[in-house]
Structure 1
Amino acid sequence: MKNNVSVFLFLLGMCFHHLTYAQTVESKFQQPLKEVLDEIEERFQVTIKYNDNQVEGKVVTYAFWRFRPDVDLTLQQVLAPLDMKVNKEGPGRYKLKEFEYHRWKEEDGWAFLQHLSSQYNDRSSWELRRDSLIPALRKALKLDPLPAIGNTKPILSKKRQFNGYSVENFALELLPGVYVNGSIYRPLKYNGKVPVVLSPDGHWGGHRFRKDAQIRFGMLAKMGMVAVSYDLFAWGESLLQFKSEDHQRSLALTYQILSGIRILDFMLSDPSIDRHRVGICGGSGGGNQAGLLTAIEPRITLSIPVVSLSSYHFGGCPCESGLPIHAVGKGTNNVEIAAMAAPRPMLVVSDGKDWTAHAQEHDFPYLKRVYGFYNAADQVANVHLTAEGHDFGYNKRKAVYDFLIQHFNLEAKGIKQKSGEYDESSIVVEEKEALYSFGANGELLPKNAIKGYDKLEILLP
C-alpha cells in the first residue's frame, strides 16, 4: 500500500510539473509589443514613435521581466529579441526601427577598429594581414576565379562634343548576356598619356544622370582626365535586364565589383591611358565600391571614397554588404578594407551629418597609422565638412578636384580661379536618355541579353 501511495504521489507530482511547465512555455509572460511600449512610455515618461505595422502581431516574451531602471537598457532588453531597436531623436524621444545589421553603436565600431589595429604593428605584420584578406575577399565576392567573360566587343555610341570635353556612351558584356552601361568623358586636348578615373555611384536619386554627377565627370575631363561613370546593378539601363527589387539581392555586390574590373580591363587596353595614373572616386555606396575595388585591384593607383567610410557603418544595401566580405579574416570592416590601398594616395571626404561624422576621431588616425608603416602618412588625406551632410555637393567635388590635380600632376588653368574656387558653369547637363547606350526605350539591347535574376544566379553560382 505504501509503495502504491508513493507511486501515486510521484505521478501526481510529475503531472503537476508538466502542467506548470506547459503553462510557462505557452505563456512565457507574453505581452503584445504595443502594450509593452505603452508601459515604457508611461513608466519612463518618454515618447516612442512607430507605425502600427511595425508592432502588429509582435509579442514580447517575459515582457515585464525585461524592465530595468534605465529606459535605454529596458528598450534594448525588450527590442533586441525581436531584431528591433530605437533611434534617439532627442531628450525623451525615440523612433522604433528594425534592427540595422549594418550599423553598429559608434563605440562598438571604434573598439572593433582598435582590435583590428592591435593585430599589426609594422609593415611586415600589416602585409601578412592584408595579403590574407585579398584572396578571402575575392572568394567572398564570388570572383575567385573570375567568371567567364562575354564575347562581344564593347558597344560605343557616337561621341558628343562640348566645351573642352566629349561624352561617349558604352556597354560592356560582363558575363555572357549580362551588360554594364555607362558614359566616358574625355578631354578634347591632352599631351602624352592621360589618367583615368572610374566613377561608381551611390543611391542618390537620378544616379549617374543627375546634375552634380555630370558636372563632376565633365570637370574631370576638362582637367585632362578620362572619367568613366557606370550604372549600379538594377539601376539605370541595367533595368532592361533586371527588376529594381533585384538591387536588394546579394549578387548585386558581385555584379558591381565585376563591373569595375571589366571596365578597368577595357580602359587599360587603350594605349592613350596612363597605367600609372588610374583612380577611382565614388560617393556613398560608390565610396564603399571604391574602397573594396582598390583593396583587391593593384592596377588602381589612387582612391577617393566620399561620404562613405566609417568603422561603425558597413553599408546598408546588399550591393555593399550582401555577401560575407566583412566576415573574412575573422572579421573586418570598411576602414580596414580601405587601408589596403596603402601606400597609394587616398582622400577620405567626410561630413558632420551622417555615419562619417567621427572620421577624424578614429578612422583617419587609423589610416594614418597604416600608411605610416610605409613612411607614407602624407599620402592619405581627410577633408571633413562639419556643417555638411550626405551628398556630393560642390565642396566635396572641390576636394576631389584638388586631390586629383595634386597627385595626377594636372593643369587647372582656365578652370580654377585665383580664389581657389572652380568654375563649373561650362559643363552641359544632358537629359538622361542621351546617356543611354541601348536607346531611349531599350530598342538596342543585344539579342543575347539575359533577363531575370534567376539567370544571373546560374552564371554566378
Structure 2
Amino acid sequence: MSLFSRLVCFLLLCNFGLLAQDASPTPSPGNAIIDRHLIRETSELSRRFLEGAQTREEWEAARTDLRQKYLDMLGLWPLPERTPLKPTVTGTLELDAVHVEKIHFQSRPGLYVTGNLYRPANVQGKLPAVLYVCGHSGRGRDGNKTAFQHHGMWFAANGYVCLIIDTLQLGELAGTHHGTYNKQRWWWQSAGYTPAGVECWNGVRAIDYLVSRPDVDPDKLAVTGMSGGGAATFWIAAADERVKVCVPVSGMSDLQSYVDDKVCNGHCDCMFLYNTYRWEWTTIAALIAPRPMLFENSGYDPIFPMPANERIRERLAQLYRWYEKKPGDLFDIGITPGGHADNVELRLMAYRWINRHLKGDNREVHEPVQAVIDGQRLRVFPEDQDLPAESLNASIDETFVSLGKPVPPRTHAEYLTWSKTLTERLEATVFREWPDQVAAAVIRDQRPDGQLVLGTDDEILVLARRHEAPQKLPRSPEQRERLWLVILNPDEPEATLPAWVSKTALAGQSTVTISPRGCGTSLAWTQANPPNYVERAHALVGRTVDAGRVYDIQSVARWLHEAEGNELTIGVAGRGAAGVLGAYAALFESSISEVLLVEPPTSHREGPTLLNVLRVLDIPDTLGLLAPRHVTLFNADEAAFRRTEQIFQGAGYESRLTRRSSPR
C-alpha cells in the first residue's frame, strides 16, 4: 500500500472530524459552495476603499497611479491614439428657441458615435456644455439618444450646449453590450474587453469634440446620465478631468450588492469593468473627487438598491470631507420616491446642481412640458442606405483592446529574459495576489465509491480519486516516483478515468483524477444563460472561474507531493481547456514536472478563460514558458503550436517538447 493510501486509511480510522459521519454523505450543493466563496471575496475587498489612504495627502499621492490602473481595467491603458474625429453634421432641426444638430464622429477609425447636439437658436459667446449619456431605452434605428431628448431641450433652452450620444448597444449603428451576459463570449474576459471601455472612450472623444466647438467654454463641462448612462457618467468623469461637474443617476452599486445580493444579474456588461486590481468598487467614483458630484437614485430602485446607495454615500462623504468647507458643498445625494425611472424630480435636482457649479446660479428650476420630436427626425443617418459600410461598431470587440504579441526568443539568454518578463506580467494582471505557494488541499470526506472530497480554497470543494496502475513500472533507484494528475473538464464524469487516457503515454500508469471547482455532477453549480451569475461575479472580484481551477490543481498537486514526503513528482494531464489549466498550474507549482495536453485549444478565445491573459500572451506562448519541463502535445494543431516549438528551440530545450498523434 502506498503512503497516499495509508494516509487516507489513517484519517478515516481516526475520524478527526474532517470526515462526514453518515455512511452516504451528501455534499453541499455547488451553489452554496460558490456563493460562500464569492461572499468571502467581496467581504475582503469591501475593506479596501481608497486603497488604504487615510488622509487627503495619502489619497492625492496615490491617485495618479490609481487612475492609470482604472483605465487599464477598462481596456484603455495605454490610452488609445486620439485619431481624427471627422465630425459631420448631417442635418439641423431649427425649432423656435433650440437648434438640434444631427452629428456623427469616429472615436476611433470606424467606431462611429451618433448624437444630437442641442444648442440655443441664438448663441452669443462661449456656453457651458453638458454631455448626456444614455441608459438602456431601446428606440431601434432611431437610437436611444432620442429617448432622452427632453434633457437636451432643457439644457439648450437654459443656455447650454448639450450633446446626447447613442450607446454602442442601442445606437443607430448597433454593437453589443451582452457578450458575457448571454452571448457566451467569455474571451471578452480573457482579452480584457468590456463595452464599458467603449462607452468611456466614446464619452472622452465626445468631450474632445465639444471643446473644439467655438460655442463651448472648455472650462465649463458637465456629464450626466441615468442607469447605463449613470454608469457611463462615472466612467467618463473618473477618466477625464476636463469634466468639472457630474450627476450620475442610478448608475452604481457596490460589490456587496452586485455579488452577494446578485444584483449584477439585472445588468449587462456595459455596467462593469474587470476588477483586475481588486478594488472596493466605490474607489472608481472616488477618482472624481474633489470635483462636484451629485449622486442620485430612487428609493425603490430594484437594480440600484438603497442599502448599497447608502454605503457608497458614506464612503464618498468620508472622502469629500477632506475637501469641503461644509457638507454638501461638493458632494451630495438626491433621492426621489419610486422605482427605476427617469422622473422629473431627478432631472430638476440635476439641473440645479449643474447650474450651481457651472454658472453659479442657485435659483429654482422648472421643466415645462415639451413637445416630443419624432425619433426619425432626429436620426443622424435617415435611411438604412445612409449607414456607413465601413462601420466597425458591430465588431469593435475584436479590435478595441490591444493584445499581447510577444516575440519568440532566439537564444537561451533571450529565453530567460522573455520568460521572466511574461511570468511577471501574468502575476501582475492575470494571477494577481496569487500566493507564492498554494496551500495543500485538505481531506474533507471520503465517499463510499472511493472518491475524496478535498478542500482547496477555504469554502471550495473538489473531487479526486486514485486509479492504481495494474503493475508498477520499473525505475532506477535515483528516479523519483511520478503520479499523474488527470484534470477533468465539466463535461467529463467525476471519478472516471477518461477514455483518452488509454491512448496516451499515461496508459498503465498511476493516476489521480480531479474535478476542480464547478466540475463533477455532485459539486457543480447552476448554469443559467443569461445571466451567467457565477462567471460574471468572479470578474467583479478580479478573478475567473478558470483561475480558481488553476488554484485547485496546484493545491491538489501540493497535497499529493507532501503526502508522499515530498518524494513524489507530479505530472498533469488534461484534454482541451483542462490541459491548459494544468499548464498554468505547472508554471506556479514546483512539484509539477511534466505536462501532457490532448487536443489543446489554439487560443484563449476558445478557453480557458483567464482575466486579461490575451493582453499578455496566448496558449502557445504559455506552453513555451514551461521549458525546461517536459511537455507532450497530443493531436495539437500543427500551425498554432509551431510557435511553441520555436520557443523551446530558441531556449535550447527542443528535446523537452514532444508532439504525438493518437487515435481519436
Distance, in Å, in 2 between the alignment partners of 1:309 and 1:455 is 23
Aligned partners of 1:282 and 1:305 also within 8 Å:
yes
Structure 1, unpaired ranges of 5+ = 1-9, 22-28, 30-61, 67-76, 86-98
Partner of 1:369: 318
Distance, in Å, in 1 between the alignment partners of 2:80 and 2:134 is 23
Counterpart code for 2:316: L
Counterpart code for 2:163: V
Partner of 1:307: 250
Distance, in Å, in 2 between the alignment partners of 1:455 and 1:205 is 21
- Closer, same or farther: CA 298–421 of 1 in aligned 2, 3 Å: closer
3-state DSSP class of the match of 2:285? helix
Matches within 5 A, 1:70-81: 79-81=31-33
Structure 2, unpaired ranges of 5+ = 13-19, 182-187, 259-263, 404-664
Cα-Cα RMSD: 3.5
Aligned partners of 1:63 and 1:78 also within 8 Å:
no
Q: Are 2:317 and 1:381 equivalent residues in the alignment?
A: no
3-state DSSP class of the match of 1:121? coil
Partner of 2:554: none
Distance, in Å, in 2 between the alignment partners of 1:129 and 1:147 is 23
3-state DSSP class of the match of 2:276? helix
Aligned partners of 1:224 and 1:410 also within 8 Å:
no
Q: CA deviation at 1:313?
A: 4.4
Matches within 5 A, 1:370-409: 370-376=319-325, 377=327, 378-385=329-336, 387-409=337-359
The Cα offsets for residues 157-178 of structure 1, whole Å up to 9 and x where unpaired, read as: 2211223211111111122222
Counterpart code for 1:446: P
Matches within 5 A, 1:293-304: 293-304=236-247
Count of residues paired in the alignment: 365
Distance, in Å, in 1 between the alignment partners of 2:400 and 2:284 is 29
Aligned partners of 1:307 and 1:391 also within 8 Å:
no
Partner of 1:94: none
1:358 is matched with which residue: 307, 316, 331? 307
TM-score between the two structures when normalised by the length of structure 2: 0.49
Distance, in Å, in 2 between the alignment partners of 1:455 and 1:79 is 31
Partner of 1:339: 286
The Cα offsets for residues 67-100 of structure 1, whole Å up to 9 and x where unpaired, read as: xxxxxxxxxx55234x679xxxxxxxxxxxxx9x
3-state DSSP class of the match of 1:238? coil
Counterpart code for 2:32: A
1:172 is matched with which residue: 86, 105, 110? 105
Counterpart code for 1:362: R
Counterpart code for 2:56: R
The Cα offsets for residues 206-248 of structure 1, whole Å up to 9 and x where unpaired, read as: 363455x111211111111111111111322122xx4675696
Partner of 1:230: 165
Distance, in Å, in 2 between the alignment partners of 1:370 and 1:437 is 42
Q: CA deviation at 1:112?
A: 4.7
Matches within 5 A, 1:119-138: 119-138=52-71
- Closer, same or farther: CA 453–187 of 1 in aligned 2, 3 Å: same
Q: Are 2:189 and 1:280 equivalent residues in the alignment?
A: no
3-state DSSP class of the match of 2:233? helix
The Cα offsets for residues 80-139 of structure 1, whole Å up to 9 and x where unpaired, read as: 34x679xxxxxxxxxxxxx9x8xx79x967x85454258122211111332221011222
3-state DSSP class of the match of 1:236? coil
- Closer, same or farther: CA 389–203 of 1 in aligned 2, 3 Å: same
Distance, in Å, in 2 between the alignment partners of 1:429 and 1:247 is 35
Matches within 5 A, 1:4-403: 64-66=26-28, 79-81=31-33, 112-116=45-49, 119-151=52-84, 153-206=86-139, 208-209=144-145, 211=147, 213-239=148-174, 242=175, 250-311=193-254, 312-313=256-257, 316-321=267-272, 323-324=273-274, 326-328=275-277, 330-333=278-281, 335-354=282-301, 355-358=304-307, 361-376=310-325, 377=327, 378-385=329-336, 387-403=337-353
Partner of 2:380: 437
3-state DSSP class of the match of 2:232? helix
Aligned partners of 1:309 and 1:348 also within 8 Å:
no
Distance, in Å, in 1 between the alignment partners of 2:54 and 2:393 is 49
Which deviates the most, 126-135 or 341-350?
126-135
Aligned partners of 1:360 and 1:384 also within 8 Å:
no
Q: Larger radius of gyration, structure 1 or 2?
A: 2
3-state DSSP class of the match of 1:180? strand
Counterpart code for 1:368: A
Counterpart code for 2:76: L
Counterpart code for 1:214: Q
Q: CA deviation at 1:332?
A: 3.1
Q: CA deviation at 1:300?
A: 0.6
Distance, in Å, in 2 between the alignment partners of 1:121 and 1:408 is 30
Judging by fraction of residues, say which structure has more helix: 1
Distance, in Å, in 2 between the alignment partners of 1:341 and 1:383 is 18
3-state DSSP class of the match of 2:359? coil
3-state DSSP class of the match of 2:380? coil
1:453 is matched with which residue: 366, 370, 395? 395
Counterpart code for 1:273: V
Distance, in Å, in 1 between the alignment partners of 2:150 and 2:390 is 34
- Closer, same or farther: CA 270–421 of 1 in aligned 2, 3 Å: closer
3-state DSSP class of the match of 1:408? helix
**Among the aligned pairs, what percent are the same residue?**
23
